[in-house]
Amino acid sequence: MLALRQSGMMKAALEKFWPEIRFELQIIKTTGDKITSVPLARVGGKGLFVKEIEDALLDGSADLAVHSMKDVPADLPEGLVIAALPEREDPRDALIIREGKSIADLRECSIIGTSSLRRAAQMRSLRSDFEIRDLRGNLDTRLRKLDEGLFDVIILAAAGLNRMGWQERASVLMDPVAFIPAVGQGALAIETRAEDARIRRLLVPLDHFETAVAVGAERSLLLELGGGCQVPIGGYARIVENKVELCGLVASLDGGQMFRAVRSAPLEDAVALGQRVAAELLDQGARQILDALCGAPATGPGGV
């Protein structure tokens, strides 16, 4: 439902810029859409939401793809490129609380629903008594499970609620510097074939410079940390006084260890900033978490 809404928004935007061209929506069910009964961390993580779509780009049966950027792995398949990043929606995490309006209202051992290791670790760091349970499915399915009493709180991306027109369901919007979002959260990525000059030209009007700078810094951080394995990693960049500021996070699964770093740099140095923040996190001790969860030594520059 959300994916269709997002694709429809980009189709409408393209038709506004190029009214002489007809754009068609093609619905492709991904493995991540089909497998909803198993935690993402057990079945391969975010890449499950893009593989079949990227296959369609590579075999020519689709010309462009609209993804939630937070679902796009740090490494793209050879021959594909992110050609445009439209202006970012709200990057924050939203708590939807069944009874009450704040974390302080939550009873002891409240049940928190999320499929994100990053969200789970940060919630555990706030309150060690929270019971984290896996939550999968479309936005409406997740909200229904909350309303039926299966959870006391669920955590969703504010951007998804906003795009569906359900922003009033958010009880608390978490400060993205204190509760760091997923890399690319709130942003859409439009992917196409690297050599397809015509499609890339059509996408130019949708590209938003500040979003591209901020997300570029975040994805540089993720790539440097080797974000292909299942580790609680967060990254949030914003433009402040003509500089890009990046907050990075690596946490242990139980939230007992939280490594954070914040640095800023000129806009043209966004990629280098991501590398610098990653190196600082590794030096603080994140290297040990990555080594343990990824099964290979973290090497600093060059990734894991």
Active site residues: 71
Q: Assign 247 to helix, strand or coil.
A: strand
What is the C-alpha separation between 51 and 140, in angstroms, rounded? 24
Q: Assign 258 to helix, strand or coil.
A: strand
DSSP-derived secondary structure for 34-103: H--SS-HHHHTGGGGGTHHHHHHHHTTS-SEEEEEGGGS-SSPPTTEEEEE-PPP----EEEEESS-SSG
Are β-strands 153-157 and 188-193 bridged in parallel, bridged antiparallel, or unpaired?
Answer: unpaired
What is the C-alpha separation between 228 and 64, in angstroms, rounded? 23
Identify the burial level of 209 via C-beta atoms within 10 angstroms of its C-beta, where 0-12 means exposed, 13-18 middle and 19 or more buried: exposed
Edge-to-edge strand list for the sheet holding 93-97: 131-133, 111-113, 153-157, 93-97, 172-173
Bridge partner list, 155 = 95
Q: Could you tell me which of 233, 226, 218 has the C-alpha nearest to residue 299? A: 226
